[in-house]
Amino acid sequence: MKRAEHLKQFDRASGSLVERLLFNHRLLVMLICALITALLGWQATRLNINASYEKTIPANHPYIRNYLANQSELTGLGNAVRIAVDNPRGSIYDRAYLDTLRKLSEEVFLLPGVARSQMKSLWTPGTRWVGVTEDGLEGGPVIPDGYEEGGAASLTQLQANIARSGEIGQLVAFDGRSSVIYVPLLVRDSDGQALDYGLFAQRLEALRNKYEQQGVRLHITGFAKLVGDLIDGVRAVLVFFAIAVAIASAMVYWYTRCVRSTALVVLASLVAVVWQLGMLPMLGYALDPYSILVPFLVFAIGMSHGAQKMNGIMQDVGRGMHKLVAARYTFRRLFLAGLTALLADAVGFAVLSTIDIAVIRELAVAASLGVAMLIFTNLILLPILLSYTGVSAAAAARSLRAETADASGQARHPFWALLDRFTGRRWASGAIAVALLLAAGGYALSTRLKIGDLDPGAPELRADSRYNRDVAALSAAYGASSDVLAVMVKTADGQCAQYDTLNKIDALEWQLRQIDGVESSNSLALLNRRVLVGLNEGNPKWYEFLPNQDMLNTVTAGAPRGLYNDSCNLLTVYAYLRDHKADTLARVVSHVEAFAAANNSKDVQFQLAAGSAGIEAATNIVVQQAWRRMLLLVYAAVVLLCFITFRSWRAVLVAVLPLMLTSVLAEALMVLFGMGVKVATLPVIALGVGIGVDYALYILSITLTQMRQGASLSAAYYQALLFTGKVVMLTGVTLAIGVITWVFSPIKFQADMGLLLAFMFVWNMLGALILVPALSHFLLKPAAQPLSPQGA
């Protein structure tokens, strides 16, 4: 029958209500999509790339609530930048160096977003010394009163003041060759705008370039600088995105040899990305370094579903159908399977919103929006576009080559015939046995998976990045990293100097210093010990904590306010850690919690946690709690969606068991490559499940349809391979090649995500092609199969 006659005989009133509404009003649908694309494309131009320190922390965790409740009285224990100014020609006790440091300190002080009252350097009045002189206990600013520019007496006095300030190892390096400008940051700048971390980091780099020309070296660390470097790395992300689009386009064209259909699949997927990016500024969101990869994931999912629709239409055209009829038949066969798969993807993203970290919740919103857009662009718009353009005749005939050979009794394609062997008992048993061995080995290895960072410095960046080199330089010069965990000690008003309270603090501090990973500590109790030694001519025998309340009151009156607050109802115990590795944080936190449980009373409360390490410890706890709960929710949703689609618990097992194997092996892979479960990697674990089920849904939907019509499992699976299997393999390999290029990114967590995603794409593909038929042999019985879904 000619295609024109086939179109005349086609009943336009057939099909579901959704199909009729869409395909009987194709021009209107295309016009609406064009208008939406124009509007959201314009909105996308207003999208900003930024980050927020507050959004990276779990705001409702008890540690963070304690920190936020006392934030205004904690000096520099939140979001801050450290600028180490090094004198390569000698020590800091040099006229030219101190003059350069003063000018830099003044410029940093004036930067928008700096919490000026809490900023510290040798030149700020809040940097003070306390010591014992012939006149008794005295103190004052570290820079001596009447400081003369580079005078020998002033430099000698400065050196003495620094020695008595307790700032060696904090603001001043142990070797005396550098000092730190400590720069706490505000949530909003003086204009009330959220701090632009990218712009702030650029200003820091400008200062670095300016002052390094004056003979000093600058090392800059802190969240703002880290985010600035990540935002700079976004350019590389865009390059890799373009590479992935090019690879996907080339692979789809290699498969189809049809320019128009390849272009439309890529176009529909890119339209979904444009819609997603356009929606974000309308909802008040911005992209951040963690969610910058979401557009590629949306594009990848779109290419997978779009290729399935294109392949179905291409084969129907090859069978002699009119392009419109082919588009409608393909829509009927695959819409529900595609919708279920996209809903599973959306659930995988949406489950991330249960994690109490705002940056992950925003990633979940952005990704869920993108998947929602794909329902319109790839399940609806793409078939409509192809119903107008069709595909080339040569491509249509080529797509049916294997099917034609099979129908004419010729030998089956060797590769498809090989895969079909897994429907037999011998090969199915072997595949399942291998899968069980892999699952056992993978599980054994995955039990060693850690929560949090496993490396010093910033694991989001490469070990040899400028930022991590700066972190290493500060750690070497100051004897500890910038990782500080602070314990807040609450008392009644005016009772912070009580002996019983300080005695408990002294005990906690001594215990902390015995823990592996704690380099040093500081507290009001330690200051009392040091002052007592000073009052007794430096005799170390007096390094004791004496029960003398008058003495405690005297020392407290002259102590720096960073050790207690103005109301004398909050003290701070500082633990300076070697690094922020997961094991280090866990050891310190568990010890402090045990100490608090044993020593808390109505008069004194030990509370965790402030400081960069304290906040990261809280984040690790939230991630650990969310990790398994998130996977359970994702799998529960996928199981429910599969059951609604197939109405068979056997088919659900066939679809889900390969995904579970992939999850176990992905965690084992993380152990092998030294990755921890953290904010950057947690989303990938959930996404692997949501995206991975796509392949099984397409294979099973065709297999069950054929079995309902009386075909054997072997025949049904072979037909599924001919109809969707080739595209499953194409998309799995294509997407894996696209993301594996990320391993060359300067952003380490992007490289980690690329490796994990590539593994998941390939392994889910293998699971759909090998384990699905193997499991089907034991679980699916042709005579007992329910009707497979046929339409929307």
Q: What is the pLDDT of residues 65-89, one digit of tens each?
A: 888 888 877 766 667 888 999 998 8
pLDDT tier for residue 401 given thresholds of 50, 70 and 90 = low
Report pLDDT for 459.
74
Mean pLDDT, rounded, for 385-408: 72
Which residues, 6+ apart, have CB-to-CB distance to 238 below 8 Å? none
DSSP one-letter string for 593-644:
HHHHHHH--SSEEEEEEEHHHHHHHHHHHHHHHHHHHHHHHHHHHHHHHHHH
Check residue 564 and report its DSSP letter. B
Mean pLDDT, rounded, for 502-522: 89
For helices 499-513 and 524-535, give the axis angle rounded to 10 degrees.
Answer: 100
Check residue 378 and report its DSSP letter. I
Q: Provide the total of helices (H) and of strands (E) in the chain, helices listed first.
A: 30, 9
> 20, exposed or middle or buried, with CB in 10 Å at 0-12, 13-18, 19+?
middle
Check residue 647 and report its DSSP letter. -
Report pLDDT for 427.
92
Among 49-58, 577-586, 706-715, the range scoring the smallest mean pLDDT is 49-58
Mean pLDDT, rounded, for 749-760: 84
Q: Considering only residues 549 and 217, tell me which one the structure prediction assigns the higher pLDDT.
A: 217
Sheet holding 604-610, edge to edge: 518-522, 570-577, 484-491, 604-610
Decide: 195 and 188 in contact? Cβ < 8 Å: yes
The CA distance from 47 to 184, in Å, is 28
Mean pLDDT, rounded, for 324-335: 83
pLDDT digits (tens, 9 = 90+) for 664-709: 998 899 888 888 888 777 777 777 776 777 778 778 888 888 888 8
The CA distance from 87 to 219, in Å, is 12
Report pLDDT for 499.
87
Q: What is the pTM of this model?
A: 0.77
The CA distance from 584 to 586, in Å, is 6
What the block records as the tokens of 619 is 């984040």
Report pLDDT for 537.
66
What the block records as the tokens of 94 is 């040099």
Checking DSSP bridges between strand 217-222 and strand 518-522, what pairing results, if any?
A: unpaired
Phi and psi dihedrals of 11, rounded to 5?
-85, 105
pLDDT tier for residue 412 given thresholds of 50, 70 and 90 = low
Report pLDDT for 135.
63
What the block records as the tokens of 146 is 């009447």
For residue 403, is pLDDT > 70? no
For residue 334, is pLDDT > 90? no
CB atoms within 10 A of CB 18: 14
For residue 734, is pLDDT > 60? yes
Phi and psi dihedrals of 481, rounded to 5?
-80, -175
For residue 235, is pLDDT > 80? no
Report pLDDT for 786.
45
Q: What angle do CA 723, 727, 732 make, to 5 degrees?
A: 145
Highest mean pLDDT among 49-63, 201-215, 320-334, 730-744: 201-215
Q: What angle do CA 134, 140, 144 make, to 5 degrees?
A: 95
Report pLDDT for 684.
76
Among 139-143, 176-180, 245-249, 630-634, the range scoring the smallest mean pLDDT is 139-143
| Of residues 253, 264, 260, 261, the one with CA closest to residue 33 | 264
Decide: 326 and 313 in contact? Cβ < 8 Å: yes
CB atoms within 10 A of CB 81: 26
pLDDT tier for residue 430 given thresholds of 50, 70 and 90 = very high
The CA distance from 297 to 371, in Å, is 9
Report pLDDT for 702.
83
What the block records as the tokens of 154 is 């002033």
For 525-684, strand residue ranges (E) read 570-577, 604-610
Which residues, 6+ apart, have CB-to-CB distance to 71 below 8 Å? 78
Radius of gyration for the chain, computed over Cα atoms and rounded to the nearest angstrom: 32
pLDDT tier for residue 792 given thresholds of 50, 70 and 90 = very low
For residue 437, is pLDDT > 90? yes
Report pLDDT for 612.
81
The CA distance from 424 to 685, in Å, is 32
Report pLDDT for 132.
64
Q: For the chain, give the percent of residues with pLDDT over 70.
A: 92
Report pLDDT for 790.
40
Report pLDDT for 327.
84
pLDDT tier for residue 791 given thresholds of 50, 70 and 90 = very low
Helix (H) or strand (E) holding 489: strand 484-491
Q: Considering only residues 679 and 521, tell me which one the structure prediction assigns the higher pLDDT.
A: 521
Calculate the alpha carbon distances from 338 to 32, 244, 296, 333, 380 in Å: 22, 23, 19, 9, 11
Q: Which 3 state secondary structure label does DSSP give 287?
A: strand
pLDDT tier for residue 787 given thresholds of 50, 70 and 90 = very low
Report pLDDT for 785.
44
Calculate the alpha carbon distances from 442 to 624, 663, 753 in Å: 19, 9, 19
For residue 207, is pLDDT > 90? yes
Q: For the chain, give the percent of residues with pLDDT over 90.
A: 15
Q: Considering only residues 702 and 559, tell me which one the structure prediction assigns the higher pLDDT.
A: 702
| Mean pLDDT rounded to a whole number for the chain | 82
Which residues, 6+ apart, have CB-to-CB distance to 45 below 8 Å? none
